[in-house]
Structure formats: C-alpha cells, structure tokens
Structure 1
C-alpha cells in the first residue's frame, strides 16, 4: 500500500483536472472503474469531488483472481468506497490461461482485458457512463505496443476518449494528463492506493515497454509521450475519414440481409474494398482479420469462378460469396426452433423475421391453426395453387437462398404438427390463402424481415 503523504488542508483540485469530469455528458449514474491503483483511486476522489452531489456515483472493482494480493486489493477498494460513502460493486472473473501458461504476447493480459470489459458491458444500463483512469502515458504505451504489432491506422489511433460500451458509454477523462502529473496530484492530496506487483514484472509486454523502452526513448526525446499522443489523434482523424468513406461505399453496394453486391464492389479499388470490409466487419461486432496478402484474398473472394466457394475466415465469422453477393456469416450454426402457434395479437419473432396473423376485411370464422417452425427435412412446397409440389430443399436452391440460410428460414404451416400444410416460407413465398387484399381464408399472415 502506498500513501501519498499528509493531505494539506489547503489542497484544492486543479481546474484543468476537474474540467474533463465536469464536462461529461448528462447522466444520472456514473460508474468509476476502480482497480485500487494510483490512477483509479485519484479518479474516484476526483469524480466524487466534481459531481458527487449531482449524480449517482458508484464504483466497480473487477477481481481477476490472478495476483497473490487480489483479495487484499478487493478489501482495500471496499474500505475506500465505504470511507467515501460510495457504493461498490465487485465482480470476480475467471481468466482462462491457455495451456496453464501466461504468454508475453497477449496471453493473460488480453484474456484479462476481455473478461474485464465483458463484465463492464453486463453492468452498464442505458444512459449510464463508465469512467476509466487511463492517462497520457497509457496512451503512448498503447500506440507503441500496437505499432510493434503491425497495427494499421485504426490501432495506432490508440484508446478513444469515449466510445459505446454495452448499453452505456465509456469515457477516459484523464487522457490529457501524464503519469507524473497524476502521481503529483495524488501525493499532494494525500491519497492512499495499492501497488499491483504485476506492474513490475517485465514478462508482460506492456511492462517491458513501460520500464525498459519508454524511459530510454524519453531520455533521448523528452516530448515522446506528447508526440505519440499527437500521432494517435492524427490517426484517429484518419480513421474517422476512412469510416465515413466506407459508409458511402456501403450505401452503394449493400443489398440488405447482411450482404454486398460483388459487381459494385469490383468498381472500387483494392484499398477501398479493404476499407469497406474492415468497417463492415467491425460494425457487426467482429475483429478484422490479419491477412498477409489482401490482393490475393480479394481476388479469390470477388473474381474466382462461379463454381468455386471462396471464403475468408475470421474470429467468429466468415465472408462467403454466393450468386454475386458477399455475405458475412456468423460461425454459430442455427439451432432447430420448436413449433410455435401463431395467434392474433401475438406476433412470433424468429431472428430477423417477424410474423403476425391478422383478420382480413371480412374474416371467415375463428383464427386458423397456424404454427411456425424451421426445417426438419422432407418438407414439400406447392408454389402455385393446383400445381405440382416439389421438395423444399430444391425450391430453396432455385430461389438462390444461401445454404447457411436455409436451416433458419421460418416455415409457416396450417394444421396439426403431424401432417400440416406448408403455406409460407419466410418472406419468400406465402400461399394466396393468407395474402392479398381478399385472402381465401379471411385471415392474412404478415411476414416482415429486418434488413440492415
């Protein structure tokens, strides 16, 4: 435990330090991520001083259960919050370590970060803010670390000052200040904090940069931290422009239903195609994959013969081409859906589809027995009244429905589950018994599909 000294009675929080906190967006509830270390302890005191009267301030401590003093740190956070009259929420997380080893290139650091942010996302409610105590030196370390990993403009933009997180927003109000400034203020205020022993171990990449590399570079270039932060802001601006351009291109090539037109994509340069895919993949919540030769990947994806099935795999998803479209397909296979009754005033929602049963202008009798299900195998469809029926599998192929989509399309049946009649296939086809201005049954089935 480290004490900053005796708090001078005349100590007052600097206006420059208070301004980023007082300028936070309106929110009735503010969370402070409290690790127990110097930076987060100062931030907690600062937030209590600046907005403790106007907002509900609460702290959250993530116990990763990795360090020998993890429980000591948790107790310290509880005692600190109790002394300040601030409610504390503690989340204990389990950090998976592959093979029982802590890798120095990502490994436990990345796993702990993922577990931490996942806990934060689950905690935040709509309109709430989460404040984290990252400062300018943290930003410089992040930029240098990502540079060494070969990151592009997006990575070199560093940590954003604010971004959406779960149902709330994440803010970093201390990014404009250096580690030395924060240390000086904490000592002047007489604050007490816990030193994390893992911060001294250079087996972790960031600690190696912090203790061995950055001091050496800073001795040669004293303004290094400011320069790296300036570069991060410049890269952030370039990333904003790239995203704006990608949205323009997306509007011209997107076809809804999570797909892009190959013909229109071929009108873009390789750089524009890559930028569009990066924006699209990131927007859908996935990490953009590292690829050694994008020219080859894009050639395969967009220009290979029609009988081939090109694919770009990422973490949790794949990009696939099918009949002139590029699709973003999640890895999770669709699960069979139990049969559900479709009743008036009780719509059924299945993935992007929404189905409702409504009376026509002149309903005939009570609501018919309608149920919603997905494919089980062996279904047949009769697209034209009185015409021949054909296997649903073959009909879906004729409609050019991608293979990975066929198992999750909702099917609409009339009659009992054992021998009902198929009267609808997603938003692709619906029997005239239940559509049109005057459906034969007097009841209409409305099928809508949400498109991006």
Structure 2
C-alpha cells in the first residue's frame, strides 16, 4: 500500500506514531516489509501513553514487545491530564508536542490515519460549523515544524487495512476507549457511520471526494489571496485597511482571515472574523479597538490592523540602575540598556551623584523635548512618532530621581543649558523596527 509513496521520498528517516492499534501496526509492518528490499530505510517508533484508563500500561508493554521483536528503536512518552472538558483536543495537542520534541532532523512522521478517520474529521468539522478549510480535513502531507507529517493510508478504508492485517497474522491491541460514545469521534464512528454506510455503501468515498474538492478550492483561494494581500501588507506585517471600504465584505473577511493565518495561528471561528469586521472595519472613526485572541490581540491604529502578543502590564514598574557599568535588563523581552563608551546612542546630560537613575514606563503631562519650541502633552508626542497606544507603556523612560530625562530611542527632554555640560551616551538595545515611513514602530 505504501511502496510507491516511500520510493518517491528522498528522505528515508521515518518516525512512526505507534499506538499499538490496528492502523499503526499495519503501517509498522508494511515499512518493515519494504526495509527488506530497501536497507536505506531507517525506522523508529514513538508511543504516547495517555494514562486515561487501567489498560494504558498494558498497551505500552505491547508496543515495547513488538518493537523489541522487530529491532525498532521505541520512544515512550507519557501524558498526565487532570481536565475533564475538551479532553480529546488537549490530548491531541500534547501528543503532537511530545512527538515533535523527539523528531530528528530530516525525519518524517508517519501516521496510520485512514479514510474513516478522515470522514470522522469531516463530520466533526460540520458539527463545529467550519468553513472550507475545516471541511478539507487532514492533508496527505503536512508541514510539521522543519519536518513533515505524511498520512499514507488517508485514501484507504479501514476495512482494507483490517483485511491486510488478518492476512499477515498481525497482533494489535483493542483500545476500549475507542468504544466510549461519550467522545464525539466515537459517537460518529459507532452510531452515525454504520447507518449511513448501510443506506449508501459509497458514502465514505463520496465524503472523501467532497473533502478533496474543498481542499482544492481552499488551495486556489490561498493562491489568489496571497497575491491580493500583498497590496495591503506593510513590511512590518501590519494590515493596511484604509481601502477596505471599497471592497466587498466577503473579500475583507477573507483577507483578514488569511492575514491571521500568516501568523501561524489556529484558524479563527467565523464569528470572531465577523466581530473583527463589525467592530473595526465598520467603525472607521473608532481607534484603539482591540479583539482578544487568547494570548494575542488584534488592534487598530491609523488605518492599520496589528497582530500583537499580549504583554504583562508594567506601567507602574520602576527599575533602578545602580551600576551603569553593567547593562540593565528590561522586562517583557524589551532588551537592555547600556552605557556607551563611543559616541553611540542618545547623548544626554549625566546624572548628578545625588540623583538616582531609574527606568519607568509611564508618564502623564506636558513636556518640552529637543527640537520643539513649546511644551506638549506626551500623548501628542507619541502620536507624532507614530507609536500605537499599546506600545507607549513598553518604551523605557529614563528618570533622574523623579525628573523625566528621555524616552530612550524616541526623544530627549530639553534641559537648561547649564545642565548640558557633562553628558554621557546610553543605548536601548532591542529588536524594534521602523515602519515604511521610517517612523518608530515595533510589534
């Protein structure tokens, strides 16, 4: 079943996701059969012990026994869950994280997913109200970090694998949790599919065809959106929505969804995309709107959308810099501050011996900065430097005692000429970019 697939692959390093069940057992033995005529094939296996019932240890011992018998290196990893909701989803996430941790360079992960699994995924996507992406199901080949996952049995019915397994006298485990219909996938497998296949024997194949069509349409859509979105992306990856008012709603939402997908974020629900459209695009006069996406946020500023990682609030934090000969590390991965020996960085008045040098991240009121002839509210200065509201409390403000001296990397306070004789140079080392207009900006 997999002979031609393996021959086409340049890499011959394979890691099998081995549960000990029928599907992964067939996969294991088919690879072993191929290895007899293709000695360059290297096989390893990984078994994830989910620890969800009393049989878990028994399954693990079975996998160890089979791999030892066939001289296959086996990795054992264990999961311990205490949650009761979304357990299937959480197990899958942890399972793939553990597998990825053990994957070698250039090693391909093989799984035993088959046609029945694919169609179950289709029904689960229908239940969630998924669009074409979700209805496309699993891909035959998927990028997995720097490697890939291949599912060689994806177009083959489970019955065919079972026939091959019995013909070759294979031994596999029966996972009794697969019969627990409290799990959505098991309910579809044991209660829905038997009825559908009895009425329409060709149902699973046609279901797979629908998924293939959805996948092809989805790939075409990606190609078109990839070309279209280039007109709206700034180099710092924010999305320019100034001209979205001239586009149809469907295209706007598709562009937003595709833009978010470029961040390697799990596809957002339809209602979330609709919320972004309704609350941001349909209210052009409103600024500083934010849509929270777990650990991330989507924010609007000056006709652009920004996808940012939520940061802890450090507005009230004060950091003292007692020894200026050593760098001062900043919170929130904002880099560090150093004193320069050469003429680099900001040239500012040096602190007096009686003054305590400290860094803060908040200031309110009017200030007079170098290059200006009148005092301004600091909010206006942030706006002039094109700094979005959510970033203003991430910029280190240099204080001597309680006197603001500089917003490092942005501006310097205009001091009296008498106080400007003795100076020093300091730099804020960070990974901040400037935007396409060379204005201060960072994500």
- CA deviation string 1:34-57 (max 9, x = no partner): 111011111122223334731432
Q: Which of 301, 306, 312 lines up with 1:322 in the alignment?
A: 301
Distance 2:39 2:331 in 1: 44
Deviation at 1:394, TM superposition (A): 5.7
Aligned to 2:42: 56
Deviation at 1:224, TM superposition (A): 1.3
Q: In the alignment, is residue 114 of structure 1 matched against residue 93 of structure 2? A: yes
Q: Any idea what SS the aligned residue of 1:45 has?
A: helix
Aligned-partner SS, 2:234: coil
Q: Which residue of 1 aligns with 2:114?
A: 135
Q: Deviations over 1:337-360 (max 9, x none)?
A: 9899999xxxx999698999999x
Q: Distance in 1 between matches of 2:161 and 2:359?
A: 59
Residue 161 (1) aligns with residue 145 (2): no
Question: Residue 407 of structure 1: which of 386, 389, 393 is its match?
Answer: 393
Distance 1:332 1:239, change over 3 A: farther
- Which of the numbers 170, 185, 210 marks the counterpart of 2:164? 185
1:294 shift after superposition: 5.9
Q: 1:95 to 1:285 in 2, by over 3 A?
A: farther
2:142·2:150 contact (CA, 8 Å) conserved in 1? yes
Structure 1 equivalent of residue 420 of structure 2: none
State the 1:301 CA deviation. Answer: 0.8
**CA 1:79–1:383: 2 relative to 1, 3 Å:** farther
Q: Secondary structure at the match of 1:407?
A: helix
State the SS of the aligned residue for 1:175: coil
Q: How many residues align?
A: 413
Matched residue, 2:4: 19
SS at match of 1:90: strand
Q: Which residue of 1 is the match for residue 240 of structure 2?
A: 261
Q: How far does the alpha carbon of each residue in 1:113-135 deviate from its partner, in whole angstroms, 9 at most, with x for none?
A: 12212222333344321111101
1:59-84 CA distances to partner (integer Å, 9 max, x unpaired)? 11111111220011111111111111
Unpaired runs of 5+ residues, structure 2, are 351-357, 414-422, 436-442
Cα distance change on mapping 1:358 and 1:237 into 2, 3 Å: farther
Contact between 2:335 and 2:429, CA under 8 Å: does it hold in 1? no
Are 1:70 and 2:56 matched, yes or no? yes
Tell me the equivalent position of 1:150. Answer: 129
TM-score under structure 1 length normalisation: 0.76
User: 1:64, 1:399 → 2: CA distance?
Assistant: 53
Structure 1: stretches of 5+ with no match in the other structure: 1-15, 432-439
Alpha-carbon shift at residue 416 of structure 1 (Å):
10
| Residue in structure 2 matched with residue 226 of structure 1 by the alignment | 205
Q: 1:122 to 1:406 in 2, by over 3 A?
A: farther
Aligned 8 A contact 2:287 2:300 in 1: no
Give the conservation status (yes or no) of the 8 Å contact 1:354–1:447: yes
Matched, 1:95 2:77: no
Pairwise CA distance, 1:185: 1.0
Distance 1:226 1:117 in 2: 28
Deviates more, 1:47-56 or 1:139-148: 47-56
Paired with 1:385 and 1:333, the residues of 2 have a C-alpha distance of 33
Please tell me whether the aligned partners of residues 239 and 259 of structure 2 are also in contact (alpha carbons under 8 angstroms). Answer: no
In structure 2, the partner of 1:306 is 285
Q: How many angstroms apart in 2 are the aligned matches of 1:162 and 1:49?
A: 22
Cα distance in 1 for residues equivalent to 2:271 and 2:30:
46
Q: Which deviates more from structure 2 when the two are superposed, residues 273-282 or residues 133-142?
A: 273-282
User: What is the rounded CA distance, in whole Å, between the counterparts of 1:355 and 1:125 in structure 2?
Assistant: 38
Normalising by structure 2, we get a TM-score of 0.77
Maintained 8 Å contact 1:288/1:314: no
Say if 1:309 and 1:320, in contact at 8 Å, map to a contact too: yes
Structure 1 residue 448, shift from structure 2 partner: 5.9
Deviation at 1:137, TM superposition (A): 1.3
Could you say if the C-alpha distance between residues 416 and 185 of structure 1 is closer, same or farther in structure 2, counting changes exceeding 3 Å? farther
The Cα offsets for residues 284-324 of structure 1, whole Å up to 9 and x where unpaired, read as: 13233324496665132113153454333334333222222
Residue 39 of structure 2 aligns to a residue in which SS?
coil
Question: In the superposition, relative to structure 1, how do residues 399 and 188 fare at CA in structure 2: closer, same or farther (>3 Å)?
Answer: same
Structure 1 pair 85–339 and aligned structure 2 pair: CA distance change class (3 A):
farther
The question of whether the paired residues in 2 share the 8 Å contact of 1:320 and 1:328 is answered with: yes
Give 2:16's aligned residue: 32
